[in-house]
Amino acid sequence: LSPKISAEKNRKSLSFFSHCLMDNVHKRDDVQVSENMSAPPLPPKYVMLNETNGLRPPPQRRNPPRYPSYQDRSSSGNCCLKCICFCYCCLFFLIIAFSIAGYVIYATFKIDIPKYRIEEFKVEAFNVLPDLSLNTEINVIVRAENPSDLISLQYEKGSSVTMNYIDKTICSGKVSEFYQGYKSIKRINIPLQGKTEFSSGFQESLAEDKKQGKIPLLIVVKAPIIVELGRIPLKEVVINVNISMIVDSLEKDKKIGIISSSYKYGLL
């Protein structure tokens, strides 16, 4: 064949091949367009419920619990603090009111502390036993005076009376229960008994005091008393009386002389 004829054939074959490629590309695009047009669009993942899109929330929906904000918590804390301050203020004013009322009652009715004096001191036993212990039995008669005009006293159980010599208790007893009206005087018999270790130091000190005729003793009285206004009980107090005294002897069946004595009173 001539070169012209072969070149013409090659050009025709190339054009035919390019037309076939273009047809395949157009067919593929048409298939993709048809597939895209036939498939429905996918709904979005999240949809806002409002009036514009026609979607409304269900009528019976559950509302989540609303947690209190910081401002609500602070306001509730302030209310609790105000309540506590108010209670403390009320308690403070009540204490002041009761104190003033007590002072008015004290000033009006002249509440005086009872007065006590030892009138008689009798030794029933004061000897050394075979086990080297000191046996002591003493009867003390105390004069109790209630100087108040309207306050009466009711002596209750639980009283105690101790007699000490050089920091050792040699005998003890108690005050019996009784009632003492206002502006009255009572004489109370208090029996005291006890046993004490009779050591050498105790014996030497007692012998020296007996020789000088000056024996120091300390009597401590603690008695619970109900204070009554007329016959109305007001309060229970404990009267504490410390009696420091010096006697001339502690011999049996001998009149004991009280050389000196001092009294200290207190309320517990």
Structural domain of 216: 115-267
In a domain, 97, yes or no: no
Say what the pLDDT of residue 145 is.
92
Specify the 3-state DSSP secondary structure of 199.
coil
In a domain, 30, yes or no: no
In a domain, 162, yes or no: yes
Which tens digits make up the pLDDT trace of 80-123?
777 888 888 888 888 888 777 766 665 555 556 788 899 888 99
In a domain, 212, yes or no: yes
In a domain, 148, yes or no: yes
Residue 31 has pLDDT above 50, yes or no: no
Say what the pLDDT of residue 108 is.
56
Residue keyed to tokens 């005050």: 175
Say what the pLDDT of residue 159 is.
94
Residue 33 pLDDT grade (very low, low, confident, very high; cuts 50, 70, 90): very low
In a domain, 61, yes or no: no
DSSP string, 112-124: ---EEEEEEEEEE
Residue 200 pLDDT grade (very low, low, confident, very high; cuts 50, 70, 90): confident
Residue 148 has pLDDT above 70, yes or no: yes
Residue 22 pLDDT grade (very low, low, confident, very high; cuts 50, 70, 90): low
* pTM of the predicted structure, to 2 decimals: 0.59
Give me the CATH number covering residue 143.
2.60.40
Cα torsion 129, 131, 132, 136 to 10°: value is -40
Q: Which residue type occupies 9?
A: K
Number of structural domains the chain divides into? 1
In a domain, 227, yes or no: yes
In a domain, 79, yes or no: no
